[in-house]
């Protein structure tokens, strides 16, 4: 799958070169390439409620470029000390690992205050099989900016994940803002991978997992430190949304992918935009 990352790198580099070479006279504001580079440092990695790290420092670099509604982004996860969890089997236990790189390609179309997005995500993971998703989302630019997103795994772990989220920023001091947000997810597994644990058979032979899955609330500050640079200290609280999501049977997770726990994430993200 290296060709995917090579292609994405070329696209992003071409966009960045275009930005640096084009002058304001040559390019209209709407035609300019925009983008960002960021790095986050956190106490753990949570994905859709699943705990994918423990007792470690997590470093997450990202790079995004956008042009006329099209976007390409690359995101990575570096676990400085891989330790197993109920949802995570490390590729190198007790070692540092750059264990995930995600590529996202998308297009956004705006209709007044409504933004519609469709796209594709490739997950290159060292700790599990690589997989792919397609997604659509809709965001309405009113108070709380409600967003509904639907993701469909099309390769290894066939299933549908639906997420509804809201966000709001409050001015605190000068250009510093308090950023608040919350989300709720529903998951429905389609392939046999998602069969649930049955006491009668002592293994995963039950109905495919489907449930109100994960909830998350977050708060953080956006603090400008330069014209195009912001640092964001933040905290998140993740929790299961239903008994199914947190259920265990005879000490085994009801959901084959692991049960969800109440979990706090804290860290710092630094972003530069161009």
- pLDDT tens per residue, range 3-57: 444 444 444 444 444 444 444 444 455 678 999 999 999 999 999 999 999 999 9
Of 221, 237, 236, which Cα lies nearest the Cα of 270?
221
Q: Distance from first CA to last CA of the chain, Å, rounded?
A: 29
Of 74, 46, 70, 47, which Cα lies nearest the Cα of 62?
74
d(CA 241, CA 219): 19
User: Which residues contact residue 211 at a Cβ distance below 8 angstroms, ignoring those fewer than 6 apart?
Assistant: 186, 187, 241, 242, 244, 245, 255
Report pTM.
0.88
Read off the tokens for 167. Answer: 């966000």
Task: For residue 66, tell me if it sits in a domain.
Answer: yes
Task: For residue 30, tell me if it sits in a domain.
Answer: no
d(CA 113, CA 226): 29
Between CA 93 and CA 99, with CA 95 as vertex, the angle to 5 degrees is 85
Task: For residue 27, tell me if it sits in a domain.
Answer: no
Of 54, 55, 72, which Cα lies nearest the Cα of 63?
72
Q: What is the pLDDT of residues 232-270, one digit of tens each?
A: 999 999 999 999 999 999 999 999 999 999 999 999 999
Domain of 79, in residue numbers: 2-21+39-273
Cross-strand partners of 151: 135, 161
Task: For residue 34, tell me if it sits in a domain.
Answer: no
Task: For residue 227, tell me if it sits in a domain.
Answer: yes
Which own/partner contact pairs does 170-178 have at CB distance under 8 Å and 24+ positions apart?
A: 172/221, 175/224, 176/221, 176/222, 176/223, 176/224, 177/221, 177/222, 178/219, 178/220, 178/221
d(CA 188, CA 167): 25
| CATH assignment of the domain containing 8 | 2.40.160.40
User: Which residues contact residue 104 at a Cβ distance below 8 angstroms, ignoring those fewer than 6 apart?
Assistant: 71, 72, 73, 74, 75, 119, 120, 121, 122
Task: For residue 28, tell me if it sits in a domain.
Answer: no
Q: What is the pLDDT of residues 143-157, one digit of tens each?
A: 999 999 999 999 999
pLDDT at position 73, please? Answer: 98
- Count of CB atoms within 10 A of residue 74's CB? 21
Read off the tokens for 47. Answer: 């994905």
Task: For residue 108, tell me if it sits in a domain.
Answer: yes
Read off the tokens for 20. Answer: 């640096």
Which H or E run contains 188?
A: strand 176-189
Task: For residue 29, tell me if it sits in a domain.
Answer: no
Which own/partner contact pairs does 17-22 have at CB distance under 8 Å and 24+ positions apart?
A: 18/67, 19/274
pLDDT at position 30, please? Answer: 61
Stretch 73-100: mean pLDDT, rounded? 96
Number of domains in the chain: 1
d(CA 62, CA 75): 4
2 pLDDT higher than 90:
no
């Amino acid at each position: 799958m290296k060709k995917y990352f090579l292609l994405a790198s070329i696209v992003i580099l071409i966009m960045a070169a275009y930005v640096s070479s084009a002058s304001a006279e040559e390019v209209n504001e709407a035609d300019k390439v925009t983008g960002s580079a960021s790095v986050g440092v956190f106490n753990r990695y949570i994905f859709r409620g699943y705990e994918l790290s423990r007792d470690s420092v997590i470093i997450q670099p990202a790079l995004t470029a956008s042009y006329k509604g099209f976007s390409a982004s690359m995101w990575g996860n570096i676990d400085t000390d891989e330790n197993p969890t109920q949802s995570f089997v490390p590729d190198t236990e007790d070692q540092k690992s750059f264990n995930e790189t995600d590529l996202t390609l998308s297009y956004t179309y705006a209709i007044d205050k409504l933004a519609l997005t469709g796209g594709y995500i490739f997950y290159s993971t060292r700790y599990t099989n690589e997989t792919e998703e397609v997604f659509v989302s809709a965001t309405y630019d009113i108070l709380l900016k409600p967003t509904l997103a639907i993701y469909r795994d099309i390769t290894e772990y066939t299933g549908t994940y639906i997420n509804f989220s809201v966000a709001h920023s409050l001015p605190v001091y000068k250009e510093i803002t308090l950023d608040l947000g919350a989300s709720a997810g529903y998951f429905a597994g389609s392939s046999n991978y998602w069969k649930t644990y049955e006491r009668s058979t002592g293994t995963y032979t039950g109905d495919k997992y489907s449930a109100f899955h994960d909830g998350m609330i977050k708060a953080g500050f956006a603090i400008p430190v330069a014209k195009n640079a912001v640092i964001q200290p933040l905290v998140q609280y993740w929790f299961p949304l239903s008994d199914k999501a947190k259920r265990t049977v005879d000490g085994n997770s009801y959901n084959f992918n692991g049960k969800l726990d109440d979990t706090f994430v804290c860290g710092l993200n630094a972003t530069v935009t161009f």
